[in-house]
Chains A and B, each alone.
Chain A
Amino acid sequence: MSPKKLIVLAVIISMALIIHYFESFIPVPAPGAKLGLANIMLLITLVLFGPSEAAIVLLVRSVLGSLLAGNPWSVIYSLSGGLLSLIVMVVLHKKFGKQVSLAGVSTLGAAFHNIGQLIAASIIFGTIGIFYTYLPVLMVFSLFTGTFTGIAAHFTVGRLTYVIGRSDLQQNRPK
C-alpha cells in the first residue's frame, strides 16, 4: 500500500466517522432506520480502490464509530449489516457494474444492510418475530436512502478521480 493510498484511505475513514457521528443527531421517523450517509464513503472506496480497501474502511468505521457514538452492542449490528451489505455491493458492482448504476448498487446494499441487522437482532433476541414484522418498514426506507447515497457517491466519484490521480486507483473498473 503506497503512502498516498494510505493517506487517502485514512481521510476517507475519518470523513465516514464524522458523517456517522453527525448522522446520529438527525431524527428518523422509525426507530432502527438510518440515513446511512456514511455508506457514501464506503461506495466511493469500493469504486475507486476495490473490495479489500472497502472492507478495511468498513471494519475501522464500524469499530471506531460504535466507540464514538453508541454502546458496544452496536458494533455487532453495525458489522453484521455492513458485511452482508458490502458482499452484496461488491458482487453487484464487480459482476454487473456495466448494467447496474451506483444508485442500484447502493439500494440493494442498503436493503441487505437492514436484512443483516435484523438477522443479528433476531439471533441475539432469540425470536424471529422482530425480523418479519420490521423488515418491510426498513425496506421502504432503504429504497430512498439507498438511492440518495448512490447518487451522492456517483457525483463524488466523478470529481475525486481527478483529485486522487489515476495511477493510484484500481485498474479496469467498469464504467
Chain B
Amino acid sequence: MKYKMTLDSIISSLKQAQTIFKPWDALVYGLVIVIMLAGFVNIRIMMRTGRERLAIIEMNGEIIDTISLEQNMTAKEIRIDAGEGSYNIVFIGYDFVEVLESNCPDQVCVGWGRIRYAGQTIVCLPFKIVVRIVGQTDQAPVDDITW
C-alpha cells in the first residue's frame, strides 16, 4: 500500500513535469551541455599538451612572476603588493599553488584551496590578481596559451 502511494506520487510528479517543461527545452539544455563539454575537452587538451607546468602570477593583466612547478623542489612564499597596503601571500608548494593570506574583503582567494593542474586558476577579484597554471610547450611558453 505504502509502495503504491509512492509510485503514484512519482507518476503524478512526472505528469506535473510534463506541464512545466516544453518540447524545445531539450534544445536549450543541449546547447548548454555542448558549451560545457567543449570547455572540458579544451581543458583536457591543454593539460595533455603541457609538458612542464608553470605557475603564472598576474596583476592587472601583467605577468609579474613565473615559477616552474617541476623544478621547484623547495617551497616558498611570494608576497604580492597590490598597492595601498593590500597584499596577497601566494604559497608555491613543490607541486601546487595556493593563496595563504590576503587582506582583501571577500577572502574568496584564500578559501579557494590548492591548484596543481594546467588550466586551473585562483582569482582575487578585489585586487585583480590571477594565479594560474599553464602547461609549457616547446616553442612559445606563454603566447601559445594566452593567444
Contacts and interface: CB of A to CB of B under 8 A. Distances in A.
A101 B125 contact: no
A105 B35 CA distance: 16
Nearest to B28: A104
B60 to A, nearest CB: 7
Interface of B: 20-25, 27-29, 31-33, 35-40, 42-43, 58, 60-62, 105-106, 108, 111-112, 119-121, 123, 125-126, 128, 130, 132, 134, 145-147
Contacts of B25: 100-101, 103-104, 107
Given A127-B61, A143-B29, A154 B20 contact: yes
Contact of A121 (B28, B29, B36, B125): B125
Given A71-B126, A130-B132, 5 more contacts: A125-B123, A133-B119, A133-B132, A136-B35, A151-B20
Given A101-B21, A130-B121, A135 B106 contact: no
Contacts of B121: 129-130, 133-134
A127 B130 CA distance: 9
Contact of B39 (A70, A107, A139): A139
A96 B128 CA distance: 39
Contacts of A96: 24
A71 B86 CA distance: 15
Given A31-B112, A107-B32, A133-B120, A100 B24 contact: yes
A128 interface: yes
A107 B23 contact: no
B10 to A, nearest CB: 17
A104 B29 contact: yes
A67 B52 CA distance: 44
A125 B21 CA distance: 39
Given A132-B42, A139-B35, A139-B39, A71 B106 contact: yes
Interface in A107-145: 107-108, 111, 121, 124-130, 132-136, 139-140, 142-143
Nearest to B109: A31
Contacts of A126: 58, 60-62
Given A99-B24, A121-B125, A129 B130 contact: yes
Given A99-B22, A154-B20, A136 B40 contact: yes
Contact of A71 (B33, B105, B111): B105
A73 interface: yes
